Structure 1
Amino acid sequence: MLIAGAGIGGLTAALALHAAGIEATVVEAVRELRPLGLGVNLLPHAVGELTALGLGDDLARIGVATTRNVYCDQAGNTLFTEERGLAGGYRWPQYSVHRGRLQSLLLAAVRDRLGPHAVRTGARLLDFEQDTDAVRVRVPGAEFEAEALVGADGLHSAVRARLHPDQGPLLWAGVRMWRGAAEAGPFLDGRSMVIARGDRNAELIAYPLGPSLVNWVAMVSVAEPGPLPGDASWNQPGRAEEVLEHFGGWTLGGLDVSDLITGSPAILEYPMVDRDPLPAWGRGRVTLLGDAAHPMYPVGANGASQTVVDARVLADELARDIPRGLRAYENKRREATAAVVAANREMQRSWHARSPEELARVTTTYRRATRADHQH
């Protein structure tokens, strides 16, 4: 089995396939895998999957177990709260974790269990071809042959582009996003995520990644939803002054947002995007996984978690039969992930138009809808 992409999805898929008795090799475009990125949330259904892979204690070590989400206004006045993880009656915790530390944990587990050469870096996928028996994948200086190819190569997937060359541009929510992390003292109970809305369709999310590190995401609606302009840039350096124009003076549960923004060593800016669900992810012995298959708005913090569930379902189905298992995997996951894409769009569209009571009701409905088919 060959997996393109050594992100959260690709590495989790390699571990899940190995646990199911299927060996895998991961090819990754970058030459050196370093612990980059900022915060990511793992919802209980994803934590359950990773715990089943023997990583529960490691997640507890590197993550912060979120006990509640606190929804408030820009002055820190609470609109409503939502218990999360074990405190919310789930079977597993919810963790906030540094994406780089999570990727490093998964990478170490893959190399330990599958061997030191299971992940080949500097191996950007150039092309692939297939017949009824195998897939042949070409990377710089080498060619691999495998029973199947899984494109887990992210939002700008090379595998997806070859499967769906007429997919069109990414779809933009009309929202500018900034992300950063800064040293800050504990706020609220030290295990809460704050989700705040302000004037002019501004929203800010903050949560701890450790005893003194706080991750934040700031979002502002600036245009109507539509195709992403061709000149849009990704992960470009953001300026604190621009963020402060919208969020200066906010105080959330004892957290001074201005200090948080100005204290961030690096700020990244990028657009909020997704894609319309595909009628089929793959073809023959090739399929997609994670953001390559179903990019979604970060509303609900469900993207990484859905990717982890993809990996488990893929392994379950391929353990039964590889050619038919690929389509069975897609049939199970396409409908479920399309529902999350639609729910995220609706949450994003109506967030500022709803009363606190409506927000509480819609949030509860969202959680139920996006976790129901992941309990097993």
Structure 2
Amino acid sequence: MTKPAQVLIVGAGIGGLTLALQLHEAGISARLIEAAPELRPLGVGINILPHASRELHRVGLTDKLASAAVQTAESVFYNRFGQFIYSEPLGAAAGYAWPQYSIHRGDLQLILAAEVEQRLGGDAIALGHTFRSFTQDEHGVTAEVETADGTTEIRAEMLIGCDGVHSAVRSQLHPGEDALVYSGYSMWRGVTRHERVLTGASMIRAGWLATGKLVVYPIRDNIDGSGRQLVNWVAEVPVPQRGDRDWNRDGHIADVIEPFADWRFPWLDVPELIRNADQILEYPMVDQEPLDRWSFGRVTLLGDAAHPMVPRGSNGAGQAIVDTRALTDALRAHTDVVSALVAYERERLPATAEVVRLNRTNPPDAILREVYERTGDKPFDRIEDVISKEELATMLQHYRQVTGSSHEALSMST
């Protein structure tokens, strides 16, 4: 059995790595185990909203984020005919003290991992360690872990499952509660080397799910010295469910291109963007019903392991990062581990359950649904005759309030 740590974190994804940094700032020792034999820059783009970027700034990542990410400045909405619907400023451009970052998921993970190893030590992340099960008693938790050399045990005061949508920790806590809820849509994601689109700091949403919806935003700036960017795109299409949830499953152009074949706008040739992708990944838009409980004694869940949600609204990674602050604060406030984990659950479980449900029905994309339904999927003469700016603004503000990313929510928290 290896030397005990105060906190054993299962999973070295964005949530687990951020948690390790938060705990280190609080003077709480942590160790991470990760099944992958190495950390590689997998995936495509994600967005970190101000309520999450605040936490990354608090652990000292401001400069590294500024150099690796694009600071998103505006959100802009169009119908599938390329007609403008609405725009609003985002992040620092909207007066937040913390930017909104668009970044390659792999870039963020590697930044976090490097910081963890620098601050906690080179052995803080144990790669090639697959969590199998745990037992616990009144003094701590023992995790059974499989490595290339066989099975070993790791002892800690508490165990936090940050092992994603396929969480083995969650499966032990809630056996049989892994039923997926499929939305009826799948998403194809890719990154393309491209000239700047609109402002070069725009998050673009266009179309609607019934006929194909597109999200486009840059995640790396000036990649070739001549101003081109690495542009992330997400295309959602209604299809029967195809496969399980694997973030890194290869997708194919032929499966996604048809609904967007004539999307050629003055500001973007969408078929060209899709065809020129470095890689295309396919993912079914699935989530799970929110759990009624995360914390069992000295064990709890965090991030996708606790609250897998449909990837809309830029809140998957963000809610995991917010979880890390809540858990760290609870451990600061309670000397008893069990009480701390219950307090963390009491704060975050209902809040994230509401986000899970809202992402199913009224994410920011719901603006596009309203226009689609009110116009009958036809071009309009004036958007003001379809829907008012006030109604559009109210819809977006409601989403920010529920997810904790509004000005008011951030001003009330410390």
Question: Which residue type is aligned with residue 222 of structure 1?
Answer: V
Unaligned runs of 5+ in 1: none
Letter aligned with residue 363 of structure 1: L
Q: What residue number does 1:266 align with?
A: 279
Larger radius of gyration: 2
**Deviation of residue 199 (structure 1)?**
7.5
3-state SS in 2 of match to 1:300? coil
Q: State the aligned residue count.
A: 371
Shift of 1:332: 0.5
Aligned amino acid, residue 333 of structure 1: R
Would the alpha carbon gap of residues 276 and 71 (structure 1) be closer, same or farther in structure 2, given more than 3 Å must change?
same
Please tell me the residue identity of whatever aligns with 2:193. E
1:293 aligns with 2:299: no
Pair 1:362–1:132, CA change in 2 (3 A): same
CA RMSD of aligned residues (A): 1.8
2:10 is aligned to: 4
Q: Which residue of 2 aligns with 1:34?
A: 40
Quickly say closer, same or farther: Cα 1:251–1:110, change in 2 above 3 A: same
TM norm structure 1: 0.94
Indicate yes or no: 2:234 matched with 1:217. Answer: yes
Specify every segment of 5 or more residues in structure 2 that has no aligned partner in the other structure, as ranges. Answer: 1-6, 222-228, 372-386
SS state of the match for residue 80, structure 1?
A: strand
Q: Please state if 1:335 is matched with 2:368.
A: no
Kindly indicate whether the alpha-carbon contact (under 8 Å) linking 1:20 and 1:319 is maintained by their aligned counterparts in 2. yes
TM-superposed deviation, 1:209: 1.1
**Contact in 2 for aligned 1:86/1:93 (Cα 8 Å):** yes
Match of 1:126 in 2: 132
Distance in 2, Cα, partners of 1:201 & 1:117: 50
258-267 or 6-15: which moved more?
258-267
In the other structure, the counterpart of 1:345 is 360
2:88 match: secondary structure = strand
> For the residues of structure 1 that align with 2:266 and 2:172, how far apart are their CA atoms?
48
User: What TM-score, normalized to structure 2?
Assistant: 0.86
Q: Distance in 2 between matches of 1:23 and 1:277?
A: 30
Within 5 A, what are the aligned runs for 1:69-84? 69-84=75-90
Please tell me whether the aligned partners of residues 194 and 252 of structure 1 are also in contact (alpha carbons under 8 angstroms): no
Q: How does 1:95-244 map to 2 (within 5 A)?
A: 95-140=101-146, 141-198=151-208, 200-211=210-221, 212-222=229-239, 231-232=243-244, 234=246, 235-244=248-257
Contact 1:285 1:323 in 2 (8 A): yes
Alpha-carbon distance in structure 1 between the residues aligned to 2:16 and 2:128: 15
Which of 347, 350, 354 does residue 370 from structure 2 map onto?
354
Q: Which amino acid aligns with 1:354?
A: E
CA offsets per residue over residues 289-328 of structure 1, 9 Å max, x none?
0000001111111111111010111111112322211111
Cα 1:198/1:127, change in 2 over 3 Å: closer
Change (3 A) 1:112 1:168: closer
| Matched position secondary structure for 1:36 | coil
Which of 364-373 and 18-27 deviates more?
Answer: 364-373
Aligned 8 A contact 2:162 2:304 in 1: yes
Structure 2 counterpart of 1:366, from 384, 393, 399: 399
Whole-Å Cα distance in 2 between the matches of residues 92 and 201 of structure 1? 35
Q: 1:66 to 1:14 in 2, by over 3 A?
A: same
SS at match of 1:344: helix
